[in-house]
Amino acid sequence: MSDLVPGEPGAGGYRAAWHPGSESATVAEHVGFQYAGIGHQTGTAQAGLWLFLATELLFFGGLFLLYTVDFARHPGGTLAASRETTLWIGALNSVILLCSSGAYTYGLGLARRGDNRGLFRMVLLTGTLGTVFLLLKGYEWYDDIARHLFPGPSFVLPAADGGALFWCFYFVATGLHGIHMIVGLVLLAWIGAGVRKQRFSPAYYTPVEGVGLYWSFVDMVWITLFPCLYLVGR
Amino acid sequence: MSTTTERSLLTLQQRADSYLTDERTIWSWLLTTDHKRIALLYFASITAFFFLGGAAAAVMRLNLVTPEGLLVEHEMYNRLFTMHGVIMVWFFLVPAIPVTLGNFITPLMLGARDLAFPRVNLTSWYLFMVGGVTALTGLAAGGVDTAWTFYTPLSTGYSHGWMMLVCLGIILSGYSSIATGLNFIVTIHRLRPPGMTWYRLPLFLWSLYATSVIYVLATPVLTMAMILLMFERFFHVGLFDPALGGDPVMFQHLFWFYSHPAVYIMILPGFGVVSEVITAFSRKGIFGYKFIAWSSVSIAVISFFVWGHHMFVAGTSIYSGIAFSLLSFMVSVPSAIKVFNWLATLHKGFIRFNAPMLYILGFIGLFTIGGLTGLFVASLGTDVHLHDTYFVVAHFHYIMVGAMVSAFFAGLHYWWPKITGKMYPEIWGQIAAATIFFGFNMTFAPQFILGYLGMPRRYASYDPGYQVLNVVSSLGAAVLAVAYLMPLIYLTWSLFAGKNAPSNPWDATGLEWQTQSPPRTENFAFTPVITGPPYNYPRPEQRQHV
Amino acid sequence: MNGRAVLVVLGALFALLTLQFGLAFTLVPRLVLPGVALVMVVIVAMSFMRLAATGALAAVFATAAVFWLCVMMSLGSMDPATRTDIAVTQRDVRFPNGGFPPR
């Protein structure tokens, strides 16, 4: 039978959750009662976020599997269709997203040092860059559809040899990526609001870190998508 | 035993401070983050879905008593088996044990006060409910006739139905599963008490961990398959359209990449329950702990490598068929290892035939039959004849219903005293277990023969030569239906008039039995420290008999 | 990360992006382009997302995800890659050995 003795502080690295210990009151209120301390909770939240990103990788992975199979089956059609993408928008968007990821990471460093004003500015910058990305994307879609690149009766390329497949993939992939960007913007707004309300400090900034992980992941999806969509046909 | 006065004092004391009585408003239930209350919310949901899916099956079996089809036309029959499959797979079996027993018992087994992410837990219930209502709306409004597998191009181009709603419901329930799985994985990694190394974890948690790995990695691929399906249905162009050079079989690849591991989602928690119940009711430590633990993990891993065995006759290449067939044979090995270890656990055990044990003994037999018949369909030559016949139907029902639902009831009865603080009437539990076993075999054993003789599945009518076996099967279904109603009745009865349960009615090991029945909201007053292995019952030679 | 480190990583990423852009117009096999993207992804994971510094569990999850992605991509393309294609439009083609396509 397992012995039940009160857990001693430091036993196996866990401390009893009902002895708040050395955390300040403002931090302790963020710690759930199932955790032994803020460090325990933060480490757990980080692990959980990476696991969530693992699910997202598998999610986009299925789409890339289809792209690979279709490219292998219809190389000519795919390359021809890729040539019709608007390269300058894709390239500019890539630069914008990379900068936004860098900006947010810098902001995260500021959060770690307690510079809330700087963090807010970086969150604002990231959000602005993200919005510009979406606006450019929206314009690009409008232009693509005007040029009859959405597969259907008025599709401009020969449909059967893989061109239509490529453009289906294009709209699905960029659409799903765009939805993830919108969710990211909402999360950024939430972080921004939290910064204004003085929720974060060097002792507790886990949500800031979490949103950063998500934003960087969405960036990673675009980094992989960019060559597949815009560069293969050149 | 105790006098009436003592019993009522005990009642007062037990009832005073439990998670059931702490707060009584409706919002305290609907906005709870307590894993125990969320488990009960889920219980209610999946029970409702179980009976809805069962109702569809009842109509189907009734229809099949005559060769021409007694009740419904073919189009309606198609909608019925689709409804049965969709509800039973996504809204009953895939969540079943993890969201009910898993949610309730996991923190208790870990000596923890809740899961790692309680609000994510509540969100997963809401996602499940919204997804369920959405899918049910689609099924009720006019239904879907493609079968739960939604193969393209029928589903994308030709089916007239409410596919978009059903697909959306499935996507939402998928996010619910991902949330649950994520919660369990992180909880088991991070919230173990001091002294609980991985090899001191109860085996229920090993199997929940393996289940959660599948939840987390397979479900996103289903989400993508559903999204692409909806896109193609809506825009009439898509990646599976042969006219555009696309490949409808790729839908099947994405679909089965999830759906094969999904069937292991359904069975793995059952394995965990078996390990818990079999040790408690033979008062013996588990035989081969590490083998059972690692077999759960290896089943979870290998399950991702075998999905192509659903597509042997779909037009996939012979080389891929050979590879998937070989891998499918490999995945049966860890399951067999478990069965041998459980049997060895029973040997020289002090066996008590309470209801949970009866269900588990039934599980072992039915699972073995179901698993062995899987090998027939995993081998390429025989699958050509057996694919899409009742043989396959019988095979997966032996595992999903015979084994898994039995395991669910075993766990339900085993932990019922802990969850509700009441004892169920033992004699009725045993009668129900026996009736379920009998009714189940009567329903599905004839279907092996029907399939071997060539009766196709998903047909509303059939050749008159198959009628006798179909009638036997339908009669069995009627027995099974009555048998499933029994626990509903006596378990509900026990809530109001059952005996109060002590904290450890089965005298079992495990942290969940060290706290009161029903537990307090915060589960434990202090974090336990683990100093020994689980299931440390006295060895047979050291047992003292009175 | 401090400002200088962020700028260094950004510089590396832009360099790779330019390389990728340039390579697209040459005759390199198309597979190289997503390959460069993969390098950029690893850089982002290790620097902006601090995968190495976060802890063993996060690294386990990330590795598992990549492993399973590889399983899906490889086993999933095995079938399309090994099929013997029989064109639907060649309905009127008759083969000498009783209707089966030649090996």
Contact yes or no for B253 and C79 at CB 8 A: yes
Residue C93 domain-assigned?
no
Q: What is the pLDDT of residue A8?
A: 37
For residues C11 and C41, membership in a common domain is answered with: yes
Q: Does position B293 have pLDDT exceeding 90, yes or no?
A: yes
* Chain A contact for B219 (CB, 8 A cutoff): yes
Q: Closest approach of chain C CAs to the CA of A113, in angstroms?
A: 10
Contact yes or no for B244 and A160 at CB 8 A: yes
Cα gap B12→A170, rounded to integer Å:
65
Name chain B's partners: 3 or more CB pairs within 8 A.
Answer: A, C
The DSSP output letter for A157 is S
| Mean pLDDT value of segment A57-70 | 93
Amino acid found at C9: V
Give the CATH class of A42-231.
mainly alpha
Which of C18, C21, C74 should be substituted to probe chain A, the one whose Cβ sees the most A Cβ atoms within 10 Å? C21
Taking only the tens place, the pLDDT of each residue in B21-42 is 888 888 888 999 999 999 999 9
| Mean pLDDT value of segment B225-242 | 90
CATH number of B460's domain: 1.20.210.10
Cα gap C79→B249, rounded to integer Å:
10
Amino acid found at B301: V
For residues C37 and C69, membership in a common domain is answered with: no
- pTM, two decimals, is 0.90
Q: Return the closest-CA partner of residue B422 out of B502, B336, B309, B316.
A: B502
Q: Closest approach of chain B CAs to the CA of A101, in angstroms?
A: 25
Q: Closest approach of chain C CAs to the CA of B205, in angstroms?
A: 18
Q: Which residues in chain B are closer than 8 Å to C62, comparing Cβ atoms?
A: none
Q: Closest approach of chain C CAs to the CA of A51, in angstroms?
A: 6
| Mean pLDDT value of segment B304-329 | 93
Contact yes or no for B245 and A162 at CB 8 A: yes
Q: Return the closest-CA partner of residue B118 out of B33, B229, B179, B220.
A: B33
Average pLDDT value over all residues in chain C = 82
The DSSP output letter for B500 is B
* Chain C contact for A228 (CB, 8 A cutoff): yes
Contact yes or no for C78 and B319 at CB 8 A: yes
Taking only the tens place, the pLDDT of each residue in B195-210 is 999 999 999 999 999 9
Q: Which residues in chain A are closer than 8 Å to B157, comparing Cβ atoms?
A: none
Q: What is the pLDDT of residue C37?
A: 92
- Look at A30-34, A113-117, B214-218, B238-242 and tell me which has the smallest mean pLDDT: A30-34
Which of A53, A67, A98 should be substituted to probe chain C, the one whose Cβ sees the most C Cβ atoms within 10 Å? A98
Q: Which residues in chain A are closer than 8 Å to B238, comparing Cβ atoms?
A: 168
For residues C71 and C45, membership in a common domain is answered with: no
Q: Closest approach of chain A CAs to the CA of B535, in angstroms?
A: 8
Q: Does position A11 have pLDDT exceeding 80, yes or no?
A: no
Residue B1 domain-assigned?
no
Q: Does position C103 have pLDDT exceeding 60, yes or no?
A: no
Taking only the tens place, the pLDDT of each residue in B100-126 is 999 999 999 999 989 999 999 999 999
| Residue B493 structural domain | 29-539
- Look at A18-32, A77-91, C69-83 and tell me which has the smallest mean pLDDT: A18-32
Cβ-count burial B3-20 (b if 16+ within 10 Å, e if not) = eeeeeeeeeeebeeebbb
Residue B265 domain-assigned?
yes
* Chain B contact for C80 (CB, 8 A cutoff): yes
Name chain A's partners: 3 or more CB pairs within 8 A.
Answer: B, C
For residues C33 and C61, membership in a common domain is answered with: no
| Mean pLDDT value of segment B226-242 | 90
Residue B276 domain-assigned?
yes
- Cα A130 to its chain centre, rounded Å, is 11
Q: How far is CA B433 from CA B278, B360, B428, B436, in A?
A: 16, 10, 8, 5
* Chain B contact for C31 (CB, 8 A cutoff): no
Average pLDDT value over all residues in chain B = 91
Q: Which residue has the tokens 């069975």?
A: B267
Contact yes or no for C80 and B247 at CB 8 A: yes
DSSP sequence for B45-92: HHHHHHHHHHHHHHHHHHHTTSTT-SS--HHHHHHHHHHHHHHHIIII
Q: Which residues in chain B are closer than 8 Å to C72, comparing Cβ atoms?
A: 221, 257, 304
Query: How many domains, in total, are found in chain B?
Result: 1
Query: How many domains, in total, are found in chain C?
Result: 2
β-bridge partners, A14: A11
Q: Does position B6 have pLDDT exceeding 80, yes or no?
A: no
* pLDDT band with cut points at 50, 70 and 90 for residue C96: low
Residue B7 domain-assigned?
no
| Closest partner CB to A6 (pick from B115, B195, B526) | B526
Contact yes or no for A43 and B190 at CB 8 A: yes
| Mean pLDDT value of segment B129-142 | 93
Q: Does position A4 have pLDDT exceeding 50, yes or no?
A: no
| Residue C34 structural domain | 1-49
More confident residue, C80 or A185: A185
Q: Does position B5 have pLDDT exceeding 60, yes or no?
A: no
The DSSP output letter for B403 is I
β-bridge partners, A201: A204
